[in-house]
Amino acid sequence: MPLAFESLSHGTVAFGFFNIESDMLLLEQYFFFATDFCRQISQIPVDDSWEGFWIPKREDVGDLMGAIHGVRHTGFIGDVYRRFPFPSRAEEFAQRPEGFRTRPVMEALIAKYATVARIPFVFHAHAGEVAIGDYRFTRAWFHELIRYVWNGGMPRWRGQERPDYVKDMKARIEGHPTGIFEGVSFSESED
């Protein structure tokens, strides 16, 4: 589930996985795949962009809680939950490490609501800030986004089995713990 994170530009924002069957992430009205996010943020230099999606109308994003509870399937998120319903058993609620395999389905579902967008990713070294699209984060707040993906969000990766792209992100960050990644912490209990 997406969680609330602090940003410099927009106050509290929603970021995260929103369906356990997909590796798609949302950042308010931006949508992008965790595979791309992990690959992009672990590249040096980091000032670049990657392809994602922008849903201009908030109502077209949908109602996450309504979709989870199966009572309101509106917008893109409603379409996702019609295709990949919330599990009926609590013990099945875990982020799927093979979620990247649903990418073609997710791309087809979002096409009805979104425009393809280049999502700029910029590290402002002098200010110690990171920008993802229009959203600016302190370095520390950005590290929280990294940890969220590393952990598999909430409810975490199924069986703590992380996909290779997440492991690769961690290895690259730990291999270059300077600049934007200075101070990133992956606790030992998460290994």
How do the pLDDT tens digits run along the chain, 191 residues long? 899 999 999 999 999 999 999 999 999 999 999 999 999 887 766 668 889 999 999 999 999 999 999 999 999 999 999 999 999 998 999 999 999 999 999 999 999 999 999 999 888 888 889 999 999 999 999 999 999 999 999 999 999 999 999 999 999 999 888 888 888 988 754 44
Tokens of 133: 């699209």
Tokens of 86: 């919330």
Contact 50, 41 (CB under 8 A): no
By the 10 Å C-beta count (0-12 exposed, 13-18 middle, 19+ buried), 164 is classed as: exposed
- Residues listed for the chain: 191
Tokens of 37: 């996010």
Q: What is the pLDDT of residue 183?
A: 87
The Cα–Cα gap between 92 and 85 comes to: 12
Question: Starting at the edge strand that comes first in sequence, how are the strands of the sheet with 11-17 ordered?
Answer: 3-7, 11-17, 24-27, 30-33, 48-54, 115-124, 129-132, 135-138
Q: What is the pLDDT of residue 191?
A: 40
Contact 80, 44 (CB under 8 A): no
